[in-house]
Amino acid sequence: MEENLIEIPQGVAPGIKSQRYANGKWEEIDLSVPKEMSLTIYINSQELVTILCTPLKLKFLVIGYMLAEGIINDIDDITYVFFRRVCVDDAIADVKLKKEDFVLPVKRVLTSGCGGGMNLIDSDIGPKLNSKIYTTPEKLLFLMQQMQQSAVHYRTSGGIHTSAICDSQSIIALEEDIGRHNTIDKIIGECMMRKISTKDKILITSGRISSEMLRKAAKMQTPIIVSLTSPTERAILLAQELNITLVGYARGSHLTVYSKPERLGVVAKC
């Protein structure tokens, strides 16, 4: 696969002058805030989607998005990915697939995430996950703590989501973005580029788990998903259907399991 690199702004914009009010007084301060850019993906000269994202690891984002949406199955399906700058905060990704007869999907749905992207409607999310992976609540809480400590851009500016793919002991890959869906796509893209298997791994994220994010994890064949916050009802139902262990509110010494708790040592009641 051919590719090129463009100069893009960093993930954080420093030196933003602001007025802070505290204890009855105003104070002028300089803050760092998250950068935001729009990235429009063209496939075989056809406009697919525009994603609002953090300008970090855009190649992983584009490749991961295409894999998650079923546009590609492997990195070898791509002839090239070229990026070009439109203006300071806008860029285009020109993707050429080896499949010459690619046709844009007819139905797309706006995601509930803050990345401003679209999901392609795909009822075929694959078979149930029959993974025999086992872990403990303590290990999941440790991994969540490690992810939060490793989120460099969030710690600098706030306002950025983080996701990580892990084994039972440590973080394998970590991504940050203003869009929680984007972090998952970047994880997918990085794992594909680095030839890291996501099967039987643990996916940890700072963002709410919606059905769209659950669907992405299912395509990764990741049997355990852990969030710092809550899943939606639809995500829980989908996780139960696909035998995915869905964990929310993993904070401090607490977590809540919504589906398939046996992987965390919970004995099912008769």
pLDDT in tens, 166-224: 998 999 999 999 999 999 999 999 999 999 999 999 999 999 999 999 999 999 999 99
Q: Is residue 112 part of a domain?
A: yes
**Domain limits at 227?**
137-264
Task: Give the C-alpha separation, 59 to 77, whole Å.
Answer: 15
| DSSP SS3 for 266 | coil
What pLDDT does 106 receive? 65
Using the 3D structure, point to which of 74, 92, 120 is the last residue of a domain. Answer: 120
Question: Would the pLDDT of 7 be above 70?
Answer: no
DSSP H stretches of helix in the chain: 58-68, 137-150, 152-157, 180-193, 211-220, 233-242
Average pLDDT, the chain: 89
Residues 95, 158 share a domain: no
Residues 93, 156 share a domain: no
What string of DSSP letters covers 189-214? HHHHHTT---TT-EEEESS-B-HHHH
Question: Cβ(166)–Cβ(201) under 8 Å?
Answer: yes
Q: Is residue 168 part of a domain?
A: yes
Residues 110, 183 share a domain: no
**Helix 233-242 × helix 211-220 angle, to 10°:** 20
Pull the structure tokens for residue 235. 């995500």
Distance, C-alpha 142 to centroid of its chain: 20
Mean pLDDT, rounded, for 23-51: 94
Helix then strand count (H, E) for the chain reads 6, 15
Residues 259, 198 share a domain: yes
Mean pLDDT, rounded, for 21-40: 93
Using the 3D structure, point to which of 67, 91, 120 is the last residue of a domain. Answer: 120
Task: Give the C-alpha separation, 226 to 45, whole Å.
Answer: 38
Residues 112, 178 share a domain: no
What pLDDT does 269 receive? 67
Total residue count of the chain as it appears in this document: 270
Pull the structure tokens for residue 52. 């609002």
Residues 183, 108 share a domain: no
Using the 3D structure, point to which of 54, 89, 120 is the last residue of a domain. Answer: 120
Residues 244, 146 share a domain: yes
Domain count, the chain: 2
Residues 240, 146 share a domain: yes
Burial of residue 46 (number of CB atoms within 10 Å: 0-12, 13-18, 19+) = exposed
pLDDT tens digits along 73-89: 999 999 999 999 888 78
Residues 161, 255 share a domain: yes
What pLDDT does 121 receive? 46
Q: Is residue 6 part of a domain?
A: no
Question: Cβ(228)–Cβ(145) under 8 Å?
Answer: no
Residues 115, 195 share a domain: no
pLDDT tens digits along 97-141: 998 888 887 655 545 455 545 555 445 566 789 898 999 999 999
Q: Is residue 8 part of a domain?
A: no
114 is catalytic: yes
Pull the structure tokens for residue 253. 């010494």
Residues 141, 258 share a domain: yes
What pLDDT does 113 receive? 52
The CATH number of residue 193's host domain is 3.40.140.10
Of 53, 87, 114, 270, the active-site residue reads 114
Strands 90-97 and 108-110: unpaired
Query: For the CA atoms of the chain, what is the radius of gyration?
Result: 19
Residue 115 phi, psi (nearest 5): -90, -10
Q: Which of 114, 10, 105, 110 is nearest to 66 (CA)?
A: 105
